[in-house]
Amino acid sequence: MIKDYKISGTLVWYYYICTREVWFMGRYIEPYQENIYIELGRLISEESYKREDKEIRLGNIVIDISRMKDGNLIIGEVKKSSKFEKSAKIQLCYYLYILKQNGILAKGELLFPKEKKKIYIELTDDIERELELVTEKIKEIITMEKPPQLKRIPFCSKCAYMEMCWV
């Protein structure tokens, strides 16, 4: 049984997409790094919002960008597509939640540069409660002896863990 897991924003994001990926990532099983979609995500993150401070690390979270606006700290999460908007929103809220636990109040922006789309995010009490439940469920998944059951979803065709499930 794994005991030294750390919940990251990426685990929160994957929880809403595929719990098998949560199990793999939570056990430090790396996805195929040359997956075209992982490379595309890296490129978009590197090439977008060049004027912003990038990759701020706080413990086990990595905030894509940050800036000050009207005296408020704004953190941003850059995604290549809004297709998984709910999971991206919860991931960003997780970062806001962790910052709040460390005495830092901030607001968030989900950024989809290819779509020229921006969504403003604020942490609410309801989302905080959801995050508390989700992090407990993530811990349960990571400590499972075997990964969750296979379940084909639309995301599978682009997944960097595809060979772990479907080959």
Tens of pLDDT along 4-35? Answer: 568 999 999 999 999 999 999 898 888 766 66
**111 beta partners:** 78, 118
Structure tokens at 64: 């894509």
pLDDT at residue 1, rounded to an integer:
46
Gap between the Cα atoms of 22 and 138, Å rounded:
7
| Long-range contacts formed by 65-71: CB under 8 A, 24+ apart | 65/111, 66/106
Amino acid identity of 40?
A: L
**Domain limits, the chain:** 9-166
Q: Per CATH, which fold does 9-166 belong to?
A: Lambda Exonuclease; Chain A (3.90.320)
First to last CA, the chain: 26
Tens of pLDDT along 59-92? Answer: 888 888 888 999 999 999 988 888 889 999 999 9
SS (H, E, C) 37-58: HHHHHHHHHHHCCCCCEEEEEE
